[in-house]
Structure 1
Amino acid sequence: MSLQSMTGFARRDGAHEGCTWHWELRSVNNRGLDVRLRLPSGYEALEAKVRERLTKAISRGSVNANLSLTRRAQTADITVNQAALDRVLAIATRLAKEIGAEPPRAEALLALKGVLDVADDADDPVAEADEQAAVLASLDAALSDLVAARRDEGRRLTEVLTRQIDEIARLSHSVEVAPARSVEAIRARLAEQVARLMETGQSFDPARLHQEAVMLATRADVEEELKRLNAHVEAARALLRDGGAVGRKLDFLAQEFNREANTLTSKAADQDIARSGLALKVVIDQLREQVQNIE
């Protein structure tokens, strides 16, 4: 299973019997799953079904789903109220004879209230259900596109993370084989420090001086940090191989990497080791930044 990014975009258009629409889905990184919907008025009943589909397909990220819909104007059923028209026509004809006016015009009669009955098409439950099914079908297609986009971005991030983890391993190895960590180098460094102390003319207990030298060498040793760094490298590589929703685990490992790099740098008694420690911290910061986008 490959890694998935939390970043993606998808759009799908649809149409059904005079109604057209398009879905837009956008997702970015987030600590958990945050779904935000924007549906047109009258489609509130779809919200539960839309949320159910999104939460099944995506486990982490901030997801915005927007449905824009345009409906063709509905035709109206117009009928003539014949009884009302007959009464109005009779009255108008009688008045025209009495006052010598022109006979009533058809458009004037039709404009009178009650002569024409205008009825909107009644809602058809079956047609409404068919339309909602079509809208949800296009959502499913858009959601598949979004998951594919997140997966494609996840593959790119996997390559970046792999290079960064390899660089952490390389820098750790450079510290591990640094000449300054050899027994001879440590002995020479301690001898130099002791000689500098002896030049002050003060007297020191040789046994106590030996103990202090051993403690100093122990505190400067980074063997444990290197072992933990190597263990974290193997754990991170295993997570990349396994894939899936491992973003939180990788984030935790990145924090552990940073902790060991800080300790290693603070213990460094040699410039080369200190430089490697600083380079480690830079790469680990870059790793932590990329990991924030992993689901």
Structure 2
Amino acid sequence: MTRSMTAFTRQEEQHAWGALTWELRSVNHRYLEPHFRLPDSLRDIEGVLRERLRKRISRGKVEATLRFVPEQSQASLQIDHRRLEEVAAATRQLSQTGLELQGVNPLELLAWPGVVVENALDMALIRKAATALFDKALDDLIAGREREGDELKQLIHARLQGVSQTVADVRQLMPEILKAQRNSLKQKLADLSAELDPARLEQEIVLIAQKADVDEELDRLDTHVQEVYRVLEQSGPVGRRLDFLMQELNREANTLSSKSIVANTTRSAVELKVLIEQMREQIQNIE
């Protein structure tokens, strides 16, 4: 299936221990270029995430941002009562030495190392949940790339139909164009009251026909168009191959233009180049 390189997704999950949010954004790029923004506490899963991304996406600049907000109740402070009693006992002992101690501020006791502790979060569980949510976000991102890729394919199909129609029109016109050139040459000779050997006249007509012969270019244009259709139906990345085919189509259109002997074929060549350029612009965004 044809995939675009442009998409965005946001996936959120709420757990007893907090909330996880993934934002994935991808844009077109020549190669795969991932950028991860992770909380420091989850930085160690970046390598796993990069490998999962690499296996499923081959091109595009992908920005992946993870936000983790611990549940307030889970992050609440707890008092180590045993430690607090030890600190209080120490202050009582100091008072018994005869040293004058001002009233002990409870907040000072809480500031003593080890008195206040934070609930320990199960980081292994959070890492597992973050990785699973990343997979879900990646599924949605790829689905978005496929939807846009399908739209791009339809746009390219429409341009390909235009190319095929233009090629067919030129084929149909060529016999009339050559006939008109023959008559024009005869008329010029008649206007000059010049006599030309029939064999020499026929040679001139053959030279004109050879110069204007574009059958080979038209055949190659048709062949390239059919190849583009075929590539668009392939699975996996096709962007680079399509870009190459656009170069080949443009080459044939340029040759057709250079061989043009009348305004009609010149206009047809210009129309072909416009259609090809429109396709090329769309293909730049295909994986």
Tell whether the structures are fold-level matches, with TM greater than 0.5.
yes
TM-score range, shorter chain: 0.7 to 0.9
> Equivalents in 1 of 2:45, 2:199: separation in Å?
82
Residues 1:173 and 2:165 aligned together: no
Is 1:294 aligned to 2:259, yes or no? no
The answer to whether 1:118 aligns with 2:110 is no
Structure 2 matches for 1:145-294, cutoff 5 A?
145-178=140-173, 181=176, 183-192=178-187, 211=203, 213-294=205-286
Matches within 5 A, 1:127-146: 127-146=122-141
Q: Per-residue deviation at 1:225?
A: 0.7
Q: Which moved more, 1:109-118 or 1:7-16?
A: 109-118
- Identify which of 89, 92, 95 aligns with 1:92: 95
**1:178-203 deviation per Cα after TM superposition (whole angstroms, max 9, x unaligned):** 1555553342244346567x66x8x9
* Counterpart residue number, 1:14: 13
Q: Sequence identity, in percent?
A: 37
Q: Tell me how many residue pairs correspond in the alignment.
A: 283
Using structure 1 for the length normalisation, give the TM-score. Answer: 0.83
CA contact (8 A) 2:77 2:116 kept: no
Root-mean-square deviation over aligned CA pairs: 3.1
TM-score by length of 2: 0.85
2:87–2:109 CA contact under 8 A, matched in 1:
no
Q: How does 1:13-32 map to 2 (within 5 A)?
A: 13-32=12-31
Cα distance change on mapping 1:76 and 1:274 into 2, 3 Å? same
What is the deviation of 1:74?
A: 4.4
Instruction: Give a deviation string over 1:244-281, Cα, whole Å, max 9, x none.
Output: 32111111111111111111112111112211111111
Task: Give the stretch that moved more between structures: 35-44 or 138-147.
Answer: 35-44
User: Would the alpha carbon gap of residues 45 and 66 (structure 1) be closer, same or farther in structure 2, given more than 3 Å must change?
Assistant: same
Contact 1:4 1:152 (C-alpha < 8 Å) held by counterparts: yes
Task: Choose 1 or 2 for highest CA Rg.
Answer: 1
Q: 1:18 and 1:263, CA in 2 relative to 1: closer, same or farther beyond 3 A?
A: same
Q: Does 246-255 or 16-25 show the bigger shift?
A: 16-25
User: How far has the Cα of 1:289 moved from its partner?
Assistant: 0.6
Segments of structure 2 that go 5 or more residues without pairing to the other structure are none
Q: Give the distance between the partners of 1:280 and 1:228, measured in 2 at CA.
A: 13
Structure 2 counterpart of 1:76: 78
* C-alpha distance in structure 1 between counterparts of 2:275 and 2:111, whole Å: 81
Describe the superposition over 1:120-169 as per-residue Cα deviations: whole angstroms up to 9, x where unpaired: 34856xx2111100011111111010011001101111111111100100
Unaligned runs of 5+ in 1: none
State the alpha-carbon separation in 2 of the partners of residues 74 and 262 from structure 1: 72
